[in-house]
Amino acid sequence: DWNAGNFIEEKVKVIREQVGQGTVVLGLSGGVDSSVAALLLHKAIGKQLTCVFVDHGLMRKDEMKQVQAYFAPFELNVIWVDASDEFLGALAGVTDPEQKRKIIGGKFIEVFEREAGKVKADFLGQGTTYPDVIESSGIGGAILVKSHHNVGGLPERMKLKLVEPLRELFKDEVRATGLALGLPEEMNQRHPFPGPGLAVRLPGAITRERATILQNADAIFMQELKDSGWYRKTSQAFAVLLPVQTVGIMGDERTFEWMCALRAVTSEDFMTADWARLPHELLEKIAQRIVREVKGINRVVYDITSKPPATIEYE
């Protein structure tokens, strides 16, 4: 039987053999896969590993600070990069979903290459898992309707050899490995978050102001889901800021502000998904809090479409 303790012990040997006295650079996103890969590599080769965390300005609220806090006890080498001006600048005025994805993907490679180039690395570490391997070899039969943000071309561009210690693992095994390596539960049980981040949840033109409004609404949604126990019962959940203003009333004032959509789904493999039957009382509380606490939003709707025909993200 598969066992996280044995897996870690064996992988540590394999990594040490492969890397020798070399150095590894790894893109840490704060997601489960890259976090577990970072901890496993760190256990094997310690300071020969350097992680690069790129904040593109479209992450969850306070994401970089939170990841810093979670990783502080492990004493990893991490280069923390705030590239939000660069990304948001490149995205200014862009409304086409595919165009946004291409800009973010291209910028990410540029920024990562620049930062990672500061470490004279021999290897690129990646948190590739078994489902990623299947999907990219086409066995999964997935029809990709969106150009996915990935760093597939990086190893060749940077002339680096790959280290992918999680390549044989399924998601539950990745999480079991994370648990055994001491990754905090809150990190280990995270919902997936798309590479282009909030860009795919901000239809229309992206501005820092709109990103901040969305982060604030999303943070309330996440907190309420966690407090009510619904975060674990859903596979993915998030807020979306629609590019629509509607009339509302606050006190005796007329308002004309943005509309927010809440999306929560259950899914086995993210190829299909069902909308989550969140209790009405919970939805009511979240909507009230968002309208009351987030300046710029005066209306909240709940998305009840499944995938297909809708996709999970909005772009």
**Binding annotation:** 29-35
Using an 8 Å Cβ cutoff, are 256 and 224 in contact?
Answer: no
Does 102 participate in binding ligand XMP (rule CB under 6 A)?
no
In angstroms, rounded to a whole number, what is the distance separating the alpha carbons of residues 92 and 108? 16
**32-45 and 4-19 are packed helices; what angle lies between their axes, rounded to 10 degrees?**
60
Does 165 participate in binding ligand XMP (rule CB under 6 A)?
no
Least distance (Å) between residue 247 CB and ligand XMP: 30
Q: Which of 195, 222, 298, 300 binds ligand XMP (CB under 6 A)?
A: 195
In angstroms, rounded to a whole number, what is the distance separating the alpha carbons of residues 222 and 217? 9
Least distance (Å) between residue 2 CB and ligand XMP: 25
Region near ligand XMP per CB under 6 A, out of 36-44, 112-120, 180-188, 305-313: 305-313
- Residue ranges in 256-295 that form contacts with ligand XMP under rule CB under 6 A: 270
Size of the site for ligand XMP (CB under 6 A): 14
**84-91 and 208-228 are packed helices; what angle lies between their axes, rounded to 10 degrees?**
110
In angstroms, rounded to a whole number, what is the distance separating the alpha carbons of residues 193 and 291? 24
Q: Which of 196, 222, 276, 298 binds ligand XMP (CB under 6 A)?
A: 196
Q: Which is nearer to ligand XMP, 146 or 171 (CB)?
A: 146
Q: Which is nearer to ligand XMP, 77 or 311 (CB)?
A: 311
Least distance (Å) between residue 271 CB and ligand XMP: 8
- Tally Cβ neighbours within 10 Å of residue 274: 14
In angstroms, rounded to a whole number, what is the distance separating the alpha carbons of residues 236 and 81? 26
In angstroms, rounded to a whole number, what is the distance separating the alpha carbons of residues 300 and 286? 9
The C-alpha R_g of the chain, in whole angstroms, comes to 20
Least distance (Å) between residue 200 CB and ligand XMP: 6
Q: Which of 188, 216, 236, 298 binds ligand XMP (CB under 6 A)?
A: 236
- Tally Cβ neighbours within 10 Å of residue 191: 17
Give the footprint of ligand XMP on this chain (CB under 6 A). 146, 148-149, 192, 194-196, 200, 236, 270, 307, 311-313
